[in-house]
Structure 1
Amino acid sequence: MIRAVGDPRVRGLAGSLVGLDLGGSGSRLAVLPTAGGPRRVLDGPRVEVHAGGSSAPQVIREMLSHAMTSWPEETSRLAGVGIGASGLASLVRDPHELAVQLSAELGTPTAIAIDAVTAHLGALGEAGGAVVALGTGAIAISHPGMAEAAGGDHAWRRVDGWGHLLGDRGGGAWLGRRGLEAAMRAYDGVDHGGHALLVAGRERFGAPESWPAQLYTRQDRAGVLAEFAAAVVGVAGRGDETACVLVRDAGREAAKSGLAALGEDRPANLVLTGGLVGAGPLLSDAFAEEVARQRGDVSIGEALGDPLEGSLSLARLRARDALGPQEGFIWS
């Protein structure tokens, strides 16, 4: 989305806004110039997980350096920086210290948040409700609304986001892994329903006997599994029953997480966002059906923007000191 001159998010600020959205399938950076004009966008590498934790701090610094080199005029004066990244709460040693370091290095107020926060800000703006973000992983998050939660220590509430081994139910890695499990069951002769997925798996990874060596040794395993989710969706699109069941299951799991995050004390608004939403009506219809089955009072809305838009909103809120930190969610 290209913003016109006079974007209200930079109006009255002393410099440009920078937002970063980091995930297992890739990263993006946007600069919103204070002087107006179109925003600048940069694509970057996926976040990897290794023995020392997440590569997010390195990716953040590399992308910021690249942006400042590419657009020195737009980044010469910054009003605020907002960063949303997966795995911050569990795979980065000290997110608060990272935020402090980045603020000092950049000379500008900086906030970092789990990617669910920026997904929420992108999808709902400052309104209350819950957002389910389906990307490489899956996480649901709710907030009562900025006006209602000013200064609240427990405003943000999350469900899932525990990674592809323990959770991320309904996300890309979850769907890709289940697709490969069905393919392996067909290969073993246990359940031939996964035959079409076995064919897709061979096309992507080669001989099934080689799949464990290809997947178990990868530091970016979640991203690789999420890439196969596209194949599962494609097989489902051709009417394969097993693949259709998996895609519908993803929608239902997303709905369950979203409703759990919403609870009974938040505005009854729910939004499904993230790259996997592109799977189409098979997933989104199952999501809506599960929501209606459990909570007929909940309204399902369209996302106002994506997580990158949310990271720019986080930068603006940080620049105006309008959004306080909350352990496990936002650090500044």
Structure 2
Amino acid sequence: MIPAAHVLAVDLGGTGSRAALEPLDAAFGSRRRVLEGGRVAVASAGSTVLDVAASLIAAARAEWPDVAIAAVGVGATGLASLVADPDAALARLADVAGAPPASVVLAVDALTAHLGALGGRPGAVVAVGTGAIALGTDLDAVWRRVGGWGHLWDDRGSGVWIGIEALKAAIRTHDGVTTEAAALLRAAERRFGPAPSWPGELLTRADRAGVIAGFAPEVAALGADGDAAASAIMRTAGCEVAATLVAALDPGLPRLASWTGGVFGAGGEYSAAFEAEFARLAPDAELQPPQGTPLDGAVHLARLAAGGALHAAHPPFLWR
């Protein structure tokens, strides 16, 4: 019996990664099998994104050895700026997957987020997890990226941005400059240890972005409980993300937008500020709830590759 063809999708981020396997001829999302993987780190030697992808694909092949892979779709953080040779990366991942090289597709995480949220329709999507990036595209002629430059100077409104802003406020209170962030200081010291140890504990870690982003849910919880400093951070974060999304609404696109990413799970003041600021900045645009997740978008990407619907690469967003 010839095994049924499947597609394999991989979603890689700073706080974790996942692989999804689906039959090619099944309804989207049905009979899906999922594996969890590690998070992407960035150090002096570069990003570990390809190592994490290869490891997760190898784990999927080991878990489901008898499955025929028709296509692989990979959405990865930091791909546009931290992977030197995407073509070599494609060959490596195809070899690990045992899939035809021509049917392996590598995309920035903003593209798989876009496919998941809008289901392939043109418009703009902002993805907010560890980092934050927006993409406005019609998957053809228009490709507009906003944000995603990394936590040292960008990722406005993201998990790592919220964590950094909270630590900055906590340090000011620790140093006696203000008294406003006492609750944030206590929470940060519970998570990361005494404040004087933070530079040694955090700055030296290759996965510091993901680690610091892990503090964002506690900041959101403090804000929801009425802490003024945490509330201000969450409101500002929501406004920053809205501005990033509006900037991705290229004039060549329909005025349609959506969002995705774990930080939106904070809800409350973050989501309220995001929606209000988006409406203020783009009153003529339609903001729709996401149809699916970035992992759904990676599955969508793999299905497009399997069906021959992707006719050309679009570096630095899509390689095949």
TM-score with structure 2 length normalisation? 0.94
Question: Aligned AA for 1:135?
Answer: G
**In 2 relative to 1, CA 317–14 (structure 1 residues): closer, same or farther, beyond 3 Å?**
farther
Q: Determine if the alignment matches structure 1 residue 128 to structure 2 residue 119.
A: no
Match of 1:111 among 102, 105, 124: 105
2:5–2:24 contact (8 Å) kept in structure 1: yes
Distance 1:328 1:34 in 2: 27
**RMSD (CA atoms):** 1.5
In structure 2, the partner of 1:303 is 290
In structure 1, the partner of 2:308 is 321
Match of 2:231 among 224, 240, 244: 244
Question: Aligned AA for 1:93?
Answer: A
Question: Aligned AA for 1:329?
Answer: F
Q: Match of 1:112, SS?
A: strand
In structure 2, the partner of 1:266 is 253
CA displacement at 1:96 relative to structure 2: 2.3
Q: Determine if the alignment matches structure 1 residue 84 to structure 2 residue 78.
A: no
CA displacement at 1:156 relative to structure 2: 2.0
Q: Match of 2:177, SS?
A: coil
Q: Determine if the alignment matches structure 1 residue 211 to structure 2 residue 201.
A: no
In structure 2, the partner of 1:257 is 244
1:175–1:246 contact (8 Å) kept in structure 2: yes
Alignment of 1:173-188 (within 5 A): 173-188=160-175
Alignment of 1:87-236 (within 5 A): 87-105=78-96, 106-108=98-100, 109-144=103-138, 146=139, 149=140, 152=141, 155-236=142-223
CA displacement at 1:318 relative to structure 2: 1.2
Instruction: Deviation per CA, 1:70-90: give whole Å up to 9, x if none.
Output: 1123x3x11110000101111
CA displacement at 1:33 relative to structure 2: 2.2
CA displacement at 1:97 relative to structure 2: 2.1
1:20–1:83 contact (8 Å) kept in structure 2: yes
Question: Aligned AA for 1:328?
Answer: P
Question: Aligned AA for 2:267?
Answer: G
Identity %: 46
Distance 2:91 2:232 in 1: 46
1:14–1:79 contact (8 Å) kept in structure 2: no
Q: Match of 2:8, SS?
A: strand
In structure 2, the partner of 1:32 is 22
2:70–2:99 contact (8 Å) kept in structure 1: no
2:74–2:106 contact (8 Å) kept in structure 1: yes
CA displacement at 1:104 relative to structure 2: 4.6
Alignment of 1:37-48 (within 5 A): 38-48=31-41
Distance 1:180 1:21 in 2: 28
Instruction: Deviation per CA, 1:157-207: give whole Å up to 9, x if none.
Output: 110100100211011001100001000011011111111100101110121
2:224–2:268 contact (8 Å) kept in structure 1: no
1:53–1:93 contact (8 Å) kept in structure 2: no
In structure 2, the partner of 1:9 is none
CA displacement at 1:101 relative to structure 2: 3.3
Which has the larger displacement, 21-30 or 229-238? Answer: 229-238
Q: Match of 2:290, SS?
A: coil
1:85–1:113 contact (8 Å) kept in structure 2: yes
In structure 2, the partner of 1:8 is none
Q: Determine if the alignment matches structure 1 residue 56 to structure 2 residue 56.
A: no
Distance 1:59 1:293 in 2: 40
CA displacement at 1:60 relative to structure 2: 1.1
Question: Aligned AA for 1:222?
Answer: A
CA displacement at 1:291 relative to structure 2: 1.2
Figure out how many residues of one structure are paired with residues of the other and give that number: 311
Instruction: Deviation per CA, 1:257-276: give whole Å up to 9, x if none.
Output: 10111132211111121000
Question: Aligned AA for 1:98?
Answer: A
CA displacement at 1:35 relative to structure 2: 6.3
Structure 1: 4+ residue segments shifted above 4 A: none
Question: Aligned AA for 2:14?
Answer: G
Q: Match of 2:169, SS?
A: helix
2:144–2:250 contact (8 Å) kept in structure 1: no
Question: Aligned AA for 2:63?
Answer: S
Instruction: Deviation per CA, 1:92-122: give whole Å up to 9, x if none.
Output: 1111221133335523210011100000000
CA displacement at 1:140 relative to structure 2: 0.6
Distance 1:82 1:101 in 2: 14
Q: Match of 1:96, SS?
A: helix
Structure 1 residue ranges without an equivalent (≥5): 1-12
Distance 2:54 2:48 in 1: 10
